[in-house]
Structure 1
Amino acid sequence: MTAAFVLGINMAVAGIFAVAFAVLAVMNRSARGAWWLALGCGMGLVNIGLEFLLRQQTDPVPVSIGIFLVYLSALSFVLIGIARHYRAEPPWIAMTAVWLVAILLVPVVFSMTYGSPARSILYQLPYFAMQGLFGVAIWRSGRRQALDLLLIVLQAAAAIFYLLKPLFAMIVGPAASPQDYIMSTYAAISQSGTVVVLVATGLVLLLVTMRDTTAEMVARSETDPLSSVFNRRGFEHHAETALAREGDMVLIAADLDHFKQINDNFGHAAGDGVIARFAAVLADTAPAEAIVGRVGGEEFAVLLPAAHLSDGRLYAEAVRNAFAAIELPNLGIDYRVSASFGVAQWMPPESLSDLLHRADTALYRAKAGGRNRVRVALGDLSSTTTFGVA
């Protein structure tokens, strides 16, 4: 298999991935980094085109320098794309350092004897450094799922491959000249390794991008855009998952007091603002593992895992006091708004629906008792065993 044939395969693969990432970027604007990945693959196409052009050159140095810098540009764009996808800041300082070293190496490398070990090592060093930053960027993002770890391993393997290329050149012998590179055994080995790395990395990157894009789409479908907490569908899905794990849990049902009057007197924009502020208080006061959802117009529910009835009551009281103290002049509301709460301890094997019903029953008692208060339901017993905290 000649190097020219392998280069043709590389060109086709780079083109396919460039189109795939571009389509992904167009179809889903939330696919962070997809355009950069497409640009990186596109630069890979340019690089391969220059490899074919090199054979026709009388003076190979200008095109050789172009190949060197274009490929480094391709790696840089892919690195930016990976960092963007993982919601991390690209390592600009490290990237700049690699580029400065690469530019300083240009007059040194291209004045050395072609095919010499020293030239080969210096030529590959910027690639090794830039490729190594791929794995660093992914690792620093904190993502540790299987595909993320596989991608890190692939980047480490690719970085090591650049260091091994000079060794391959020493074993099989380098090309006689830059123009003869495309016909050499070393080129065939080098480009074959490149296509393996390219295909593996591209496929895993696509899988990671599709996985995370799908997760974001699911999250959006389960999130209430006004309050930024779960909608009813999302709340029920995550709450039922939590109940399936069993353990002590408490559910708090909450409802804004006299909300219709807010809409009637101050307008729906003010009402939306109140909902958003109340949801923020619920979320900010809740522990990290809590599941917070807007389950109706002005109705909310919070599931506290690993909690007892007293924990739920204290949480509800904390939210009630914090929200009742908020002034809302920016919404045009000239009085403080309050909320009422019902708290119920989960009693296995009851369903989420039954738990919500008991919490709602306690909430209705809070409303009937004067609003702006907490009522705690003790199981599904009669009202005589339900007490409230004003």
Structure 2
Amino acid sequence: MIFGMDHSLHLPTVMIVHALITLISTVVTIYMWLRNRDSRILPMLVAAGLAGCTAMFLHSARSSLPLFLSSGVGLGLGVFAVGLYWQAVVVFEGGKASLTKASIGLIVWTALWLMPVVYQSVELRTTILGLLIAGYCFLTAEDILRKAKREPLPSRSIAAVANLIRGAVWLAPVPLSLFVGPAYAADGTTAPWFAYIVLANSMMIVLTLVALLMLAKERDELRYRLASERDPLTNLANRRTFVTSACKMLQEQEGASLLLLDIDHFKVVNDTHGHAAGDQVLLAFSRTIEQRMPKGWLFARIGGEEFACLMPRMSAQKAVAVAENLRLAVADMLLPASSPLRVTVSIGVSEAKERGADLDELLATADAALYRAKADGRNCVRLYEPVALLAETGNTLALAVEQPRRRLARMRRRAG
């Protein structure tokens, strides 16, 4: 039986190895902190590591140090280290660190340890220690899992499971000390199972730290990817993302309609009221339109004041009705009370009736309809109707289509 192997693991040695592993991890974390001094998470991990190292060095010298120092202070610092790690995760997930919450376990441990009934009972001390550390581990796992839907990073499950396992490891001493034997016998010898608990905890400390660093790396990669795919001001899809996604959508969907939206007289807004006012208009406009976009539609900012919306399986007539509602919503758009601006939008509509339509063609025809909307006085919606437009405008239509076609071809080359 495993618990009969009294000499298989030497507990003080295991604790020193544990402390050294934690120390090495802490040194690496300090190096990372020195290279990223703005981080709010790394200093907390450094503090947690230093507290954990001190705890293990103190408790490994239990036979030569006073019990108050080796167990009271030593194990209390161990609880505090886990609390600090929990608060580092809270900060990582966007919360505010609380030294009070990190210290609650240490305060509870100190208060109970000073009670004679706890001081004199190894089983009671072991139970309290296990419950406190396990509680912090489970709180850490809960915080990691809470953001899983909003930020589905691949390593979230690994980090959560690692903390759950670490919590389970520290719950194990509760029944073991009560039903198998105390961690420390009256003659000072240690129970074999306690050495295995300490060893397992050493491995889980490394795993939980690595998992957190993996999460941080994945978050940075996600931010870089989103930065390349999103417009920095409005957080809408940018031109490159729109071209890639729209081409795929047109290949997969049976027909679609495209809206090209252009904010009227936007240059005048920038020239008269400044670029800050122009940014306010762009943000308000983006939110107004985006709030009316159902799932499955592709809405993007493709130029300065130019936006595009691709609507799969949408007929031209329905698309015109949607565009008219959007135009009215923009006209009623709320801007800051101090702003004298009144914003309107011109919208061009075109339709692709079959699967596999060419995006350049769709963009060019929608831009021709937008050109017509601006020629008709702006603040209106126009549908691309080649026969009707040709009869009315003659060769102007060819110019109206060819110019945006060339411009959009250049746009697509830059996006690719």
Scaled by the length of structure 1, the TM-score of the pair is: 0.79
1:153 corresponds to: 161
Separation (CA, whole Å) in 1 of partners of 2:198 and 2:145: 28
Alignment of 1:341-352 (within 5 A): 341-346=347-352, 347-352=354-359
Task: Note the alpha carbon deviations across 1:280-334, whole angstroms, 9 max, x for none.
Answer: 32223323554432211111123345655455434432332122234657676x4
Distance 1:247 1:296 in 2: 27
For 1:122, the equivalent position in structure 2 comes to 128
Question: 1:224–1:231: 8 Å Cα contact kept in structure 2?
Answer: yes
Maintained 8 Å contact 1:172/1:185 = no
Counterpart-to-counterpart distance in 2, 1:386 and 1:119 = 93
**1:138 maps to amino acid:** I
2:51 aligned with 1:43, yes or no? Answer: yes
Does the alignment pair 1:194 with 2:194? no
Q: How does 1:159-174 map to 2 (within 5 A)?
A: 159-168=167-176, 171=180, 174=183
- How do 1:330-345 and structure 2 match up within 5 A? 334-345=340-351
Provide the identity percentage.
25
Aligned length: 379
Which residue identity is paired with 1:344?
A: S
Local SS of the residue matching 1:254: strand
Structure 1 range deviating more: 229-238 or 17-26: 17-26
Corresponding residue of 1:284: 291
Q: Distance in 2 between matches of 1:22 and 1:237?
A: 42
Sort the Cα spacing of 1:262 and 1:146 in 2 relative to 1 into closer, same or farther, 3 A. Answer: closer
Q: 1:120 to 1:266 in 2, by over 3 A?
A: closer
Distance 1:249 1:20 in 2: 54
Residue aligning to 2:147: 141
Q: Residue 147 of structure 1: CA displacement?
A: 2.6
* Secondary structure at the counterpart of residue 285 of structure 1: coil
Code of the aligned partner of 2:331: A
Change in Cα spacing, 1:179 to 1:223, as seen in structure 2 (3 Å) is farther
Superposed CA offset, 1:72-121 (max 9, x none) = 2221122122233233577999878756644442224751233x3x3322
Decide which of 253, 257, 261 is 1:254's aligned counterpart: 261
Q: Secondary structure at the match of 1:348?
A: coil
Gaps of 5+ in 2: 1-8, 393-416
Q: Deviations over 1:321-365 (max 9, x none)?
A: 122234657676x45221111233454212444433333232222
SS at match of 2:119: coil
TM-score, normalization by structure 2: 0.75
Are the counterparts in 1 of residues 348 and 384 from structure 2 also a CA contact under 8 Å? yes
Residue identity matched to 1:358? T
C-alpha distance in structure 2 between counterparts of 1:240 and 1:9, whole Å = 57
Matched with 2:408 is none
Distance 1:250 1:124 in 2: 62
Q: Which of 100, 109, 113 pairs up with 1:106?
A: 113
Q: What RMSD over aligned residues (CA atoms) do the two structures have, in Å?
A: 3.8
Using the TM superposition, give the Cα deviation of residue 162 of structure 1 relative to its aligned residue in structure 2, in angstroms. Answer: 0.9
Structural mapping, 1:174-253, within 5 Å: 174-176=183-185, 185-240=192-247, 242=249, 246=253, 249-253=256-260
Q: Does the 8 Å CA contact 1:175/1:186 hold for their aligned counterparts?
A: no
8 Å CA contact 1:173, 1:186 repeated in 2: no
Larger mean Cα displacement after TM superposition, 203-212 or 264-273? 264-273
Give the aligned residue type for 1:174.
Answer: A
SS at match of 2:342: coil
How far residue 193 of structure 1 moved from its aligned partner, in angstroms, is 0.5
The alpha-carbon distance between structure 1 residues 94 and 30, as it changes in their structure 2 partners (threshold 3 A), is closer
The letter of the residue matching 1:13 is: I
Q: In structure 1, the residue corresponding to 2:86 is in which secondary structure?
A: helix
Q: Please give the residue correspondences for 1:257-272 in structure 2 after superposition, counting only pairs within 5 Å.
A: 257-272=264-279
Residues of 2 paired with 1:148 and 1:157: CA distance? 14
Equivalent position amino acid for 2:197 in 1:
S
Stretches of structure 1 lacking an aligned partner (at least 5 in a row): none
Question: Aligned partners of 2:231, 2:335: CA distance in 1, in Å?
Answer: 22
